[in-house]
Amino acid sequence: MIQLRGVSKTFDGGTSYAVKDLSFQVEAGETVVLLGSSGCGKTTTLKMINRLVEPTHGHIEVGGEDVMNQDPALLRRRIGYVFQGIGLFPHMTIEQNVGLVPRLLGWSARKRGERVRELLRLVGLAPEDYADRFSEALSGGQQQRVGVARALAADPAYLLMDEPFGALDALTREALQQELLGLKKKLEKTIIFVTHDIFEALLLGDRIVILHQGNVQQIGTKKEILSAPATPFVRDLFGKPAKQLADFKDILK
């Protein structure tokens, strides 16, 4: 349902590449995690899928159609986008924030209201308590839940998530990871999830794409990657947390 073929992006005319010759596909209902450190090309890849950034080379297809042949605004309304900064509009209520894309798509006020209430309940925010609030009155975790609800508002088949839980405390982050797993089972969305957290990648991903300096190091299931790392970088990447866990176990003995 989402396919990248030989995709590259340079911002300096080819002196360096944010992403180099990237190819992978995401099947319907699958969650693929892009894993790597800051600056490896994860966010650039997401932005190329919905044309916030346009590829220098290669082809990206969403729903079988090249994104470069689609109107950018209409493409973005078909793809839910959740990012770490959340980006709620402070002058809008929670209901107005969640209902923004349906309003742009011409949904009636009644249909928008029903959809907003449905989604707030889905992400664990009672609409009678939260719909009329403004974002400044919400905690970081609550704001992130609203961001997820807003991304789902027009019922997109595709969901792009750019380190959505990265700025949250550990307990809130774990709770939202579990919420996402529950939503995934209920809604069967096709998801690309960006993170630099190895454990988050292993928890959420059906498959993992490991990036380093704009290049793919390995693509596979968590079992494939853990049992047969394809490069020294992948081996070292997953070896460090394993050693840390072993060290903690030694301390607790």
The 8 Å CB, 24+ separation contacts for 177-182 are 177/203, 177/204, 179/123, 179/124, 179/145, 179/148, 180/148, 180/204
Domain 2-90+156-252, classified CATH 3.40.50.300, yes or no:
yes
Please report which confidence band the pLDDT of residue 215 belongs to, taking 50, 70 and 90 as the band edges. Answer: very high
Which residue in 113, 119, 97, 102 sits closest to 187, CA to CA? 119
Q: What is the model's pLDDT at position 170? A: 85
Please report which confidence band the pLDDT of residue 249 belongs to, taking 50, 70 and 90 as the band edges. Answer: low
Average pLDDT over residues 34-62: 94
Q: Where are the domains of the chain?
A: 2-90+156-252
Statement: residue 134 has pLDDT above 90: yes
Token code pair at residue 176: 């939202």
Q: What is the pLDDT of residues 8-17, one digit of tens each?
A: 999 999 999 9
Please report which confidence band the pLDDT of residue 107 belongs to, taking 50, 70 and 90 as the band edges. Answer: very high
Find out whether 148 and 82 touch, Cβ atoms under 8 Å: yes
Q: What is the model's pLDDT at position 24? A: 96
Q: What is the pLDDT of residues 74-92, one digit of tens each?
A: 898 889 998 876 678 999 9
Average pLDDT over residues 23-49: 94
Cβ-Cβ contacts under 8 Å for 244 (sequence gap 6 or more): none
Statement: residue 164 has pLDDT above 60: yes
